[in-house]
Amino acid sequence: MITKERVLVVDDEPRLVTLVREILNATGFEVSAASSGVHAIETAALEKPALVLLDIMLIGSIDGFEVARRIRQFSKVPIIMLTAKVGEPDLLKGFEAGADDYITKPFSSRELLARIRAVLKRSNEEKDSATDSEIVCGTLRIDLARHRVTLEGREITLTSTEYKLLHELVSHRNQVMLHEQLLTSIWGPEYRGDLEYLRTYIRHLRSKLEADPTHPRLIVRCRGVGYMFVCPDTAAWLPTGADQRIPIS
């Protein structure tokens, strides 16, 4: 018997919850629902869903950002946040809280399913890719078996998507990775044009790894092309167009 993946839908709009439930049930998912932040946290802990679909604005004193932060204290479950609009401050705040993706209201059933499947695919690939090896680049170490990142002996806490982006960059260290390559590899082919996703994650990753994020020396941009992770062990050079001093915007 095949076990259906369960999605926890957290929203205080009954009509939206009903619509999402119908869409997901019709495509092979099981659905649980919660209308408040407290209920959402309790349900996530008890039911251990495969994915959480989480509205930012919730009734009560706990909003979606806080729900994500609290869930991240005990679970790595993928979280997709729902919002009426997406600006860079909300993107950053959501990623800091542990969100893996965003969907802007209103959305189509096709977009909803595409995003859910893409996030679940990334999550499953990450689980399947664990090995007993590690990647070492200067003072940066990535323990692939434990998904543990240290820099100069200090452990760096990353979300699952941040980890996967760093892994992709470091795996191709001292090579230029095109915007489209990174977007397709990390988020999936349907995201290849979403540069704002990539830019936001790069900024946040720099804030955790760079001594001076405004003058990055590890994750550098190649203007109009992509990004490169500079490994000090093997590279004292930058290709034409790379800029260590001007952060991507």
Give the model confidence (pLDDT) of 62-92 as tens digits. Answer: 999 999 999 988 888 999 999 886 666 777 7
Question: Do residues 186 and 164 touch, judged by C-beta distance below 8 A?
Answer: yes
Identify whether the C-beta of residue 104 lies closer than 8 Å to the C-beta of residue 85.
yes
* CB atoms near residue 96 (< 10 Å): 14
Q: How far is CA 218 from CA 151, 162, 212, 234, in A?
A: 12, 15, 10, 13
- Average pLDDT, integer, range 233-245: 38
Of 46, 83, 51, 49, nearest to 64 by C-alpha is 83
pLDDT at 235 exceeding the cut of 80: no
pLDDT at 59 over 90: no
Strands of the sheet containing 219-222, edge to edge, are 177-178, 226-229, 219-222, 242-243
Query: Would you place residue 125 in the very low, low, confident or very high pLDDT band (cuts 50, 70, 90)?
Result: low
With 60 as the cut, is the pLDDT of residue 244 above it? Answer: no
Please, what are the domains in the chain?
6-128 (3.40.50.2300), 134-243 (1.10.10.10)
Strand extents, DSSP E, the chain: 6-10, 30-34, 51-55, 79-83, 101-104, 134-137, 140-143, 148-151, 154-156, 177-178, 219-222, 226-229, 242-243
Kindly tell me if the per-residue pLDDT of 238 is higher than 70.
no
Q: Report pLDDT for 165.
A: 92
